[in-house]
């Protein structure tokens, strides 16, 4: 148990679930009992209700909400656009591609003045946009400084400047990443951003810069929602993208190759699913979040090893996780030499010490992550692979 302090959140009562929050002793007892019982097939606290239509209906409806989602055609942006539509909002989605399966697609580029909008689109968006979500840029952990800083630095500056042009604006939300904390030391809460940390890659630094710019824009009604890796089937359909972020490890593990992880991956990796993440963004728009920072992750706190096991389960594969001694850079280099994917090589030790009580700062009721989103990720990968083999 000594190494499992993160498990304190596992059996915590959720606001709105009809139970009283467990005290510290109760939480410890619940966590201890969890470790005596066999793990369920899906990593899920017993009290978590299955995701269903009624849960989705609970999103607060805000009359006359016109949401502009910058980057709303991506993996997370599509889930956010769908959740906004379910809440009754009118949705516009801006991307360089310009088309969208949800709401109205608008062509633009956050790196350009006035988001590169045509005069007609600019006039319409200015006239009635009440809410904005910043959800642009990829999560590639291997992108270089040029691409990352252009998007998350210059793009964010221009997106924030654009908010000044919206007379009807009530609330904006920036989708940040816990990885903006880099290799932060000490206990992390919603307050910390710069702790003197080093960054593992340009993506982490880019997300740090973006959140810094948002925090410094004191005159704007823009809040921050932080997520760790977001998993689950792609809301756009098709095979999940395994080119970036944590999913890079999945094909590697499914092919039977080993990954070297400290404590054999028995540490939290702060994942959640796309639908609960999207509902948190809608909650931030509608509550509204104001200028606060929220952090959301699956309260069941699956460890990195559990994430890998659950994603591989539908394939009948047990991931080969090899103990890596905490030798820092040497372990990482060794891991790369023996085949750990390059993107993962920097994430093989506990990432940082996040205070799980940050969840309590999100007003209830909380969304419930889909009960089997990790297994569903594995099944979507398998079905995608079968479809590819048939064509």
Ligand X SMILES: NC(=O)c1ccc[n+]([C@@H]2O[C@H](COP(=O)([O-])OP(=O)(O)OC[C@H]3O[C@@H](n4cnc5c(N)ncnc54)[C@H](OP(=O)(O)O)[C@@H]3O)[C@@H](O)[C@H]2O)c1
List of residues contacting ligand X (CB under 6 A): 70-71, 73-77, 94-97, 108-111, 135-139, 151, 155, 175, 177, 207, 227, 229-230, 245
Cβ 299 to ligand X shortest distance, Å: 17
Taking CB atoms, the residue at the shortest distance from ligand X is: 74
Which one, 82 or 151, has the nearer CB to ligand X?
Answer: 151
Which one, 31 or 302, has the nearer CB to ligand X?
Answer: 302
Cβ 280 to ligand X shortest distance, Å: 11
For 205, which DSSP code? H
Cβ 76 to ligand X shortest distance, Å: 4
Cβ 241 to ligand X shortest distance, Å: 7
Which one, 73 or 87, has the nearer CB to ligand X?
Answer: 73
Which one, 204 or 331, has the nearer CB to ligand X?
Answer: 204
**Residue 223 CB: number of other CB atoms within 10 A?**
21
β 258-261/320-323 pair status: parallel
Helix, strand, coil % over all residues of the chain, rounded to 5: 40, 15, 45
Token representation of residue 16: 């709105």
Cβ 191 to ligand X shortest distance, Å: 19
Query: Counting beta carbons within 10 angstroms of the beta carbon of residue 154, is it exposed (0 to 12), middle (13 to 18) or buried (19 or more)?
Result: middle
Collapsed DSSP state (helix, strand, coil) of residue 113 = helix
Which one, 162 or 366, has the nearer CB to ligand X?
Answer: 162
Cβ 100 to ligand X shortest distance, Å: 9
Task: Please check whether residue 39 is in contact with residue 66, taking contact to mean a CB–CB distance below 8 angstroms.
Answer: no
Distance separating alpha carbons of residues 344 and 332, to the nearest angstrom: 9
Distance separating alpha carbons of residues 305 and 310, to the nearest angstrom: 9
Task: Please check whether residue 52 is in contact with residue 44, taking contact to mean a CB–CB distance below 8 angstroms.
Answer: no
Question: Facing residues of 231 across strands?
Answer: 273
Of 290, 247, 190, 215, the C-alpha closest to 76 is 247
Dump strand ranges (E) for the chain.
66-70, 90-95, 104-107, 131-134, 171-177, 187-188, 222-227, 230-231, 258-261, 272-273, 293-296, 320-323, 353-354
Cβ 70 to ligand X shortest distance, Å: 6
Cβ 136 to ligand X shortest distance, Å: 4
Distance separating alpha carbons of residues 37 and 30, to the nearest angstrom: 11
Which one, 73 or 171, has the nearer CB to ligand X?
Answer: 73
Which one, 11 or 108, has the nearer CB to ligand X?
Answer: 108
Cβ 188 to ligand X shortest distance, Å: 15
Which one, 75 or 347, has the nearer CB to ligand X?
Answer: 75
> Which string of b and e fits 118-153 if b means at least 16 CB within 10 Å?
eeebbeebbeebbbbbbbbbbbbbebeeeebbebbb
Which one, 43 or 175, has the nearer CB to ligand X?
Answer: 175
């Amino acid at each position: 148990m000594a190494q499992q302090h993160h498990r304190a959140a596992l059996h915590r009562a959720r606001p709105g679930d009809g139970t009283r929050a467990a005290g510290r002793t109760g939480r410890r007892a619940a966590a201890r009992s969890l470790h005596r019982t066999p793990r369920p097939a899906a990593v899920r606290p017993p009290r978590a209700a299955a995701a269903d239509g009624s849960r989705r209906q609970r999103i607060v409806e805000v009359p006359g909400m016109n949401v502009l989602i910058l980057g709303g055609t991506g993996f997370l942006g599509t889930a956010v656009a769908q959740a906004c539509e379910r809440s009754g909002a009118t949705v516009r989605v801006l991307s360089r591609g310009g088309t969208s399966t949800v709401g109205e697609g608008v062509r633009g580029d956050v790196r350009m003045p006035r988001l590169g909008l045509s005069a007609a689109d600019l006039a319409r968006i200015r006239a009635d946009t009440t809410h904005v979500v910043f959800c642009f840029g990829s999560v590639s952990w291997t992108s270089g400084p040029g691409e990352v800083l252009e998007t998350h630095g210059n793009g964010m500056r221009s997106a924030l400047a654009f908010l000044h042009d919206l007379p009807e604006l009530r609330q904006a939300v920036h989708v940040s990443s816990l990885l903006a904390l880099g290799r932060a030391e000490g206990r992390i809460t919603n307050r910390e951003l710069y702790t003197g940390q080093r960054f593992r890659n340009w993506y982490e630094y880019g997300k740090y810069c973006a959140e810094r710019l948002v925090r410094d824009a004191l005159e704007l009604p823009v809040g921050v929602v932080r997520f760790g890796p977001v998993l689950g089937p792609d809301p756009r359909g098709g095979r999940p993208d395994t080119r970036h972020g944590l999913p890079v490890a999945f094909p590697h593990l499914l092919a039977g190759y080993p990954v070297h992880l400290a404590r054999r991956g028995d540490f939290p990796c702060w994942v959640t699913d796309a639908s609960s993440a999207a509902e948190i963004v809608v909650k931030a728009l509608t509550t509204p979040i104001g200028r606060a920072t929220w952090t959301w992750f699956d309260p069941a706190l699956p460890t990195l090893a559990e994430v890998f096991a659950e994603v591989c389960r539908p394939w009948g594969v047990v991931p080969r996780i090899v103990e890596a001694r905490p030798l820092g850079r040497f372990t990482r280099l060794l891991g790369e030499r023996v085949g750990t994917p390059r993107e993962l090589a920097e994430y093989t030790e506990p990432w940082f010490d996040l205070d799980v009580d940050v969840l309590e700062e999100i007003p209830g009721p909380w969304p419930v992550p889909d009960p089997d989103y990790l297994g569903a990720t594995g099944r979507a990968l398998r079905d995608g692979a079968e479809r590819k083999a048939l064509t």
